[in-house]
Amino acid sequence: MQFPFKRLTPLMLLSLVAACSPSAPEDAAELLSVQVQTLQTEDAALHVVLPGRAVAAHEAEVRPQVDGIVARRLFEEGSQVQAGQPLYQLDDITLRAGRDEAKARLNHAYATCGAAREEARRLAQLADSQLVSLQDKDRSAAAYQRAEADIQMAMASLQTAKVALDHARIAAPISGRVGRSNVTEGALVTSHQPEALTTVRGLDPIYVDLSQSAAEWLQLSRDIADGRLRDNRQLPVDIQLEDGSRLQHTGSLQFSDVSVDPATGTYALRVRVANPDGVLLPGMYVSASLGAGVRRDALLVPMQAVSRDASGKTHVMVVDGEGTVANRPVQLGRALGERWLVEQGLSAGERVVVQGQHKLQTGSRISPVEWSGHAQGTTDTASSTREG
């Protein structure tokens, strides 16, 4: 039986030929869609993260200035106290008796001086009438002068007794947070004893003492002097607590030391931080993020766009104007948040593959889609952390 080819129309023949022909090349619309980012220059604020410890801005050890027995403790341990607020009361019976005795001696001196004054005046008149000798006149005048000196001595003794009595009530020398008491009621304390009764520390504001490598400081100074960086060391300092949380209040750099520790090769920095809530306590370990300059016209590439080969070298996938991918070695600098600072290998305007690069190889053609995972034109923070 013969197939009736003669009955096929020209349109049907064309359809059969098309069905038996090989598939046409992929259309451009069917290319793999890959997210890319177009690199742009921006100013990047560089910071250095240094370890440090909190230090009280003011600290005063409370010691007795007179001998005595502690009668009462007048404060609650750990509370906030004001300068001049009484902290301890010593047994002052003996001191009150000493004050009263000094008062009596002063009154006696006044009485003696009055009698000596009248005696000197009377003998002076008699001497003028030549009824007594000049020797008696001079003797009475000297007695009057001694009586006046006795008044001055008695007044000084009374003042000393009053001061000693005032010191029986031991007051806070500064305002701040008072620590634990090292003595209890009934304890004997002496003036100038080595052990402090307690310690008062000023915690608002509080200091954070840091240390930085002298080599890092030299490099930063050179970069700023050469114009590679713009100085931003006076920016607010962010403080991170030991549990990883960030302190609500920022600090300010107070000073940098003028000498380098020969044992460690570091120099000291001090940051002043507001601490109204008392979150920072003396001795607490923290880390501080300080300004380390601003890099002008920096190129930043997302971290997920960077890959490393077996030798540890870094690479990115770059897309040209025709959508062809090429593998490009790059040299990276510091980490800036979720991006790397590019030192060499890329230029502004180039497009790098951000997502999907594991599916690509050199020469692959893609349909690039601009990545919106990071807003352009923002300033990141480059952090360099050093263990202390």
243 and 373 assigned to the same domain = yes
Q: Evaluate whether residue 347 is within a structural domain.
A: yes
How far apart, in whole angstroms, are the C-alpha atoms of residue 199 and residue 83?
Answer: 13
Q: Evaluate whether residue 3 is within a structural domain.
A: no
Closest CA to 286 of 275, 301, 276, 302: 275
pLDDT exceeds 70 at position 247 = yes
Higher-confidence residue of 339 and 387: namely: 339
Closest CA to 87 of 178, 10, 153, 163: 178
86 and 101 assigned to the same domain = no
pTM of the prediction?
Answer: 0.61
240 and 300 assigned to the same domain = yes
Contacts of 21 (CB under 8 A, 6+ apart): none
137 and 282 assigned to the same domain = no
pLDDT exceeds 80 at position 311 = yes
Write the CA distances from 33 to 23, 322, 365, 386, integer angstroms.
22, 14, 10, 41
What is the number of structural domains in the chain? 3
pLDDT value of residue 377:
41
235 and 266 assigned to the same domain = yes
Task: Judge whether 179 and 77 are in contact, CB under 8 Å.
Answer: yes
Question: What is the per-residue burial (b if ≥16 Cβ within 10 Å, else e) of 26-42?
Answer: eeeeeeeebbbbebeeb
Q: Average model confidence (pLDDT) for the chain?
A: 78
Question: 271 pairs with which residues across the strands?
Answer: 208, 253
Q: Evaluate whether residue 370 is within a structural domain.
A: yes
Residue 346's domain is classified under what CATH number?
A: 2.40.30.170
Q: Evaluate whether residue 282 is within a structural domain.
A: yes
Residue with tokens 């360099």: 384
pLDDT exceeds 70 at position 103 = yes
pLDDT exceeds 60 at position 379 = no
Residue 72's domain is classified under what CATH number?
A: 2.40.50.100
232 and 371 assigned to the same domain = yes
What single string gives the DSSP state of each residue in 208-251? EEEEEEHHHHHHHHHHHHHTSEE--TTSPBEEE-TTSPBPSS-E
> What is the span of the domain harbouring residue 69?
65-90+168-195
Q: Evaluate whether residue 9 is within a structural domain.
A: no
How far apart, in whole angstroms, are the C-alpha atoms of residue 39 and residue 299?
Answer: 7
